[in-house]
Structure 1
Amino acid sequence: MTVPARVRPAVAGFHHLAITATDLDASVAWYQRVLGLQPLPMTFPHNGAEESGHAVLLLEPAQGWAIGIHRHVANPGTPASETTTGLDHIAWAVSSREDLDAWASWLDEQGVQHAGVTDTTDPMPYSVLVFRDPDNVQLELVHLPG
């Protein structure tokens, strides 16, 4: 018998998120080049459905979080869309507004299209830089002024 928790159990931190790619190798290379993520030297099977594909886990070396890039045999190759059920976007915080400008320059150097840095006050003050991965997953870098 499970006893109901009176307090939410603890979470130690963010570990990883996983996305499905149409071209596993191209996506792994893109996340390495653009975000500096480092792949682990093994692949991960889809436990209980090993024949359906596998994943590569890429680690962010300074902070320890990861992105899993999955290959599914049944993937029809449809680009990701935030307008359908599932992942809408992924966002990371940056320390300053100037960091967003530096990221925009970095993305330009990497040949990654982006929307430029947007500063807004509605519904609250923040700045954001929006770009997309090879499968059209929306990625954001966000600065909230102190």
Structure 2
Amino acid sequence: MRAIHHIALICSDYDRSRAFYRDILGLPVIREVWRAERRSWKCDLDAGNAQIELFSFPAPPARPSRPEACGLRHLAFTVADIDAEVARLDAAGVRCEPIRIDEYTGQRFTFFADPDGLPLELYEQVKS
């Protein structure tokens, strides 16, 4: 294995999630297709070294996404200036938790949620 290619997310409200990831987080759309046989939209977004795939499905079942639930804990995005990103998200109505410091790396990070409550993280990587 060499790298993560994509992360797939099934959205409860496709339009709301596409607007969140594209307009608020600023991830460019690579392609978007309607898959008639599945009655499902699929949108590929450029997340740097990987892609995020957003899917719509009719009546998807709910999945627990509490931070300590079994399964994917959170999706983390690398940022250069966490204060600027938190301010940008706050201006868009997205609330972040207080910034914390990773006790092992000394890097700063915070959590917020997407429209479906999926835990997302901003992880500041300062070049030395």
TM-score by length of 1: 0.71
2:98 paired with 1:116: yes
Q: 1:100 to 1:23 in 2, by over 3 A?
A: same
Unaligned runs of 5+ in 2: none
What CA distance in whole angstroms lies between the structure 1 residues aligned with 2:31 and 2:79?
Answer: 29
Partner of 2:114: 133
What CA distance in whole angstroms lies between the structure 2 residues aligned with 1:31 and 1:56?
Answer: 10
What CA distance in whole angstroms lies between the structure 2 residues aligned with 1:85 and 1:142?
Answer: 22
Which deviates more, 131-140 or 71-80? 71-80
Question: Once the two structures are superposed, what CA deviation does each residue of 1:81-122 show, in whole Å capped at 9, x if it has no partner?
Answer: 344343210112233xxx0111111111111011031124x3
Unaligned runs of 5+ in 1: 1-9
Identity of aligned residues (%): 28
2:22 paired with 1:22: no
Secondary structure of the equivalent of 1:112?
coil
What CA distance in whole angstroms lies between the structure 1 residues aligned with 2:95 and 2:18?
Answer: 18
How many matched pairs?
127
Aligned CA-pair RMSD: 2.6
Which structure would you say has the larger Rg?
1
Match of 1:88 among 73, 77, 82: 73
What CA distance in whole angstroms lies between the structure 1 residues aligned with 2:69 and 2:57?
Answer: 19
Partner of 1:102: 84
Match of 2:25 among 35, 42, 47: 35
Secondary structure of the equivalent of 1:88?
coil
- Which amino acid in 2 is paired with 1:19? L
What CA distance in whole angstroms lies between the structure 1 residues aligned with 2:118 and 2:72?
Answer: 8
Partner of 2:40: 53
Match of 1:69 among 54, 79, 92: 54
